[in-house]
A and B are shown apart, each in its own frame.
Chain A
């Protein structure tokens, strides 16, 4: 759906050094206009650095950053069509809420009344109508975040940059704000670029996600594609959980790969949809998500294939039970998640059980 949109930001082989430290190692990516884009990765992988190169707070050591087709090298943040919501919100503590929101309008040629109206509209948009006269420092975390949003959006930037805007909020509020941010982005149609280390947040909110490790983009895809067909085991593990088993490719022809995996046996996989990654020296691996396998109870029929296993660990979550089971002929336990259904017992550790699985849900890492 986003393929026909024009490009808003383009990175061409961007490198950034902090002294000797190579923080960005050849970033190539395009971000489309009106897209909700996330930079996802573990702490220290360079997400904030990359975001700040867009805002103009960090220069780059080599490469090109284009915003709306223009090379922005040497352009200061105050002359870029971007605005930022800082992780600490950076609300000016000596000003009122409306002075904060109207801060960027100082050089705006509009009349005082028009500006005041714009401030009121921006406050209403983030659900803070009537808060204008309050002292900014007396606001709660969630309210500060809204003020920061209003302050940035009032300038109608081409790109809104958000550096972990929700990480300081508690879980409930964070989930509410996620939904509100998505709605807000649809409403204003501005390109949002969100930095987060929370994979769930990225999956929920984004049109596309760039997963970063150690200064590089490991994979850039839609949430669904990232979850279903991760390019590397590292990505697979960072987004959700994946079980891995050693495997051997027996043959590959006509878009079908014949493989044999420990504990699962022989099967045929669709190369285009299920085989991924560069050839790794340690040999191939198959992976499956915990929810794609099921424990089969009593006489229940397998939907596709089944293997025997022993229950090693049981983690009961109320609506779900996570089982760690060891498939016969394998060394490491696999995680299988089961939705709890009324009347079905929770298995004990040590129980022998059948595990139902389906070759179509597997991913092969070459």
Chain B
């Protein structure tokens, strides 16, 4: 008999990948501070705890502020860069794009340290603003990558047609280009938001001590009695992520259906 090696491998891989995520909600409802089997009974105490944790609330607030602003900025910058690189050929455009994409492969440590040194040496105080700065730097390459493919699949004659029909460059962009690359922009926003939300190194280096979700969680994990709280928080985050991704995929598919373009595969 033939051994279904590939199938076994695939199943093992999926188990390895998702077991930790499945464990998360299990222990979030487990009535014990120790993360261990056997389970001790059902409780919602941990959720109650996190709902009434002021520091967590501040961290969440800060994270939402930082991630929202970072993702909007990086998607905007990404739009500009992707547009420029796909439509205009100018001297040095190749190396320039390389430099923009570099933070994607550069270790975050390096980016974070370099930024820290520069910021301190020119006398800028660390704050949420400096964190946003760092996050934009890290997220923008991902936005550029996603948006470049969106702009590349845009037929140039659509722009020319709009111009031919009397529209200037700005209204052409607003009326034709933007609606057609919107699915790409939404993807870029979402990816950037996610990257920014769980970014730890830059947040830790460039923060002023104000808690953000990632640094907060890291801090809490050092105290065993808080671990179940983190389990509960993680469960909430997983839930929110699933909802967000589902929404994004819904809008992406609707966009594709509306314009009749080919489905080139999103991230779901």
Q: Which residues of A contact B (CB under 8 A)?
A: 55, 57, 76-78, 82-84, 86-88, 90, 92-94, 103-104, 106-107, 135, 137-138, 151-152, 155
Contacts and interface: CB of A to CB of B under 8 A. Distances in A.
Interface residues of B, number: 21
Given A88-B155, A94-B179, A106 B260 contact: no
B260 A137 contact: yes
B46 to A, nearest CB: 46
20 contacts: A76-B163, A78-B163, A78-B165, A78-B166, A82-B164, A83-B165, A88-B157, A90-B158, A90-B160, A92-B161, A92-B176, A93-B180, A93-B260, A93-B261, A103-B165, A137-B259, A137-B260, A151-B161, A152-B164, A152-B165
A78 B164 CA distance: 5
Given A93-B259, A94-B179, A84 B158 contact: no
A157 to B, nearest CB: 9
B53 interface: no
Contact of A135 (B155, B163, B176, B258): B258
State the majority secondary structure of interface residues on B: helix
B10 to A, nearest CB: 37
Contacts of B179: 94
Q: Which of A77, A151, A155 has the most CB of B within 10 A?
A: A77
A86 B166 contact: no
B167 interface: yes
Nearest to A139: B260
B158 A135 contact: no
B162 to A, nearest CB: 7
A106 B167 CA distance: 9
A-B pairs with lowest CB-CB distance, top 6? A137-B260, A104-B165, A90-B161, A93-B259, A90-B157, A86-B157
Q: Which of A55, A83, A103, A107 has the most CB of B within 10 A?
A: A103
Given A76-B168, A78-B168, 16 more contacts: A57-B160, A77-B160, A78-B165, A78-B166, A86-B160, A88-B155, A90-B155, A92-B161, A92-B162, A93-B261, A94-B180, A94-B258, A107-B166, A135-B258, A137-B259, A151-B161
Contact of A86 (B161, B176, B260): B161
Contacts of A78: 163-168
A78 B170 CA distance: 12
B163 A77 contact: yes
A104 B166 contact: yes
A138 B158 contact: no
Given A77-B160, A86-B157, A86-B160, A94 B165 contact: no
Contacts of A93: 180, 259-261
Contacts of B163: 57, 76-78
A345 B259 CA distance: 58
B167 to A, nearest CB: 6
Interface in B168-191: 168, 171, 175-176, 179-180
B69 to A, nearest CB: 29
